[in-house]
Amino acid sequence: MRKILIIPSWYPSIYNPGLGTFFREQTELFNNEFEIRILSGIQKTKIKRWKKLYNSASFSFLKVVQIKGKPDYFISPPPVSGFEFECGVNLFKRSNYNIAITSYIKAYEEITAYWQPDIIHAFDTFIGGIVASRINKAHNIPYFITEHNYLQFKNRSFINRDFVEAIERSRRVLLVSEYQLRNLLMYGVQCNPHIVGNYVNDSVFTLNEVLSFKNEFNILFIGRYAYHKDFSTLIKTIIEYDKRSPDKNFCFTIIGDLAGQKENIRIQLSELIVSTNIRFVEFVDRKDIASIFHKANVFLSTSIAETFGVGICEALMCGIPVVSTNNGGFDEMYVPGVNGIKTNIGDFSALAEALIKIRMNEIMFDPIKIRDSVKFKFGTQGFKSKLQAIYNSING
């Protein structure tokens, strides 16, 4: 059985179980096919200034870092070799960056005292892919990267150099969308890219209650308060929908961390005739998220950009039509006339109109066809076969 070390750039912990859940879910797919171990670190932030000075001095003169095992901090299975590291004085950005990378290398070398991987799979280039690249240089272990994030080439020069090198040295670079591929190639990076999409568990995200009658027209939006989610367009869409809606028996359910902006959003939506038409939910446990989709009639995305859009795909897997801006990620799933409606970025009027047409049954979608439009590409069997072929094709 081949041994695979997963190095995620972040990973769910007992204190933040929602962070990086898709890393864990993808990894769990292969528990029976490969021997898998996770390497994940957490930076300790609350340390005294004298200790930061000590850490900086130790690394600058002796290249020494200290790590502490955190065996029960991260969620398992799969088994996680968790550790904690400390950085130095905040002023020394380059030194702190190198302390973090070196801490990962030290943790890796502690693992290999009793367990040697055949392949390293890094999730995201920063920081997992950079660590994998350094390990490859030192120990000649082949690695590949799955990039889920927005590819950023405007980091500090010393990070940018490592970022590009990690991508170019990788045996494969797996991307989640054509949008990401264009972004990567625009910078002239030499690599071996493959678009694989993202994984959505089709045994969890099911049709179930979707086919049952719903009295209230429930429009679901999921996203933390961030610039690329375009909350300005979301607010304008809600107001426009309220003005044009034939009835007031509707609800916009907004799920996500609003970073203290909930009251500000409420003020902007104060002109709504019925304030109960807005429902805020800041956190939903991962095991309960499918039931949220089952209560929705349509999923709304107002994003300026999405590398993939896991929430969009989860909605489609549940047979829920999607109304979305042309954000890049939706293109991987969009089938005109089958699973949703696509509008231009920022076009709140078109978004509201699409929602109303669905509400009035002017445009109708078949939940089974919606689900089938994504199941065979991103469901368990389809996604697993793609990734398994890549694992088996990479040799030392």
Dig out the tokens for 303 from the structure: 């994003």
What CATH number is given for 3-199+379-393 in this structure? 3.40.50.2000
- Position 209 scores a pLDDT of 60
- What is the tens place of the pLDDT at every residue in 19-33? 888 899 999 999 889
Domain ranges (residues) in the chain: 3-199+379-393, 208-376
* Mean predicted confidence (pLDDT) in 147-157: 79
Give the C-alpha distances (Å, rounded to integers) separating 123 from 8, 167, 198, 199, 273: 5, 12, 12, 13, 46
Give the C-alpha distances (Å, rounded to integers) separating 170 from 121, 316, 353, 381: 10, 32, 45, 26
What pTM was computed for the model? 0.91
Of the given ranges (136-140, 285-289, 363-367), which has the lowest mean pLDDT?
285-289
3-199+379-393 and 208-376 share one CATH topology? yes
Of the given ranges (11-25, 67-81, 375-389), which has the lowest mean pLDDT?
11-25
- Position 140 scores a pLDDT of 94
Dig out the tokens for 245 from the structure: 């809606």
- What is the tens place of the pLDDT at every residue in 156-211? 788 889 999 999 999 999 999 999 999 888 888 889 899 999 999 999 999 976 44
Among 290, 374, 289, 285, which residue's Cα sits nearest to residue 332?
374
- Position 199 scores a pLDDT of 95
Residue/partner pairs of 91-96 with CB below 8 Å, 24 or more apart: 92/56, 93/156, 94/156, 94/158, 95/56, 95/59, 95/60
- What is the tens place of the pLDDT at every residue in 335-391? 999 999 999 999 999 999 999 999 999 999 999 999 999 999 999 999 999 999 999
What CATH number is given for 208-376 in this structure? 3.40.50.2000
Give the C-alpha distances (Å, rounded to integers) separating 12 from 76, 327, 378: 9, 27, 22
- Position 382 scores a pLDDT of 93
- What is the tens place of the pLDDT at every residue in 311-340? 999 999 999 999 999 999 999 999 999 999
pLDDT at position 214 over 70: no
Please report which confidence band the pLDDT of residue 266 belongs to, taking 50, 70 and 90 as the band edges.
confident
Are 267 and 231 contacting, i.e. CB atoms less than 8 angstroms apart?
Answer: no
- Position 154 scores a pLDDT of 66
- Position 285 scores a pLDDT of 86
- Position 210 scores a pLDDT of 46
The average confidence (pLDDT) of the chain is 91
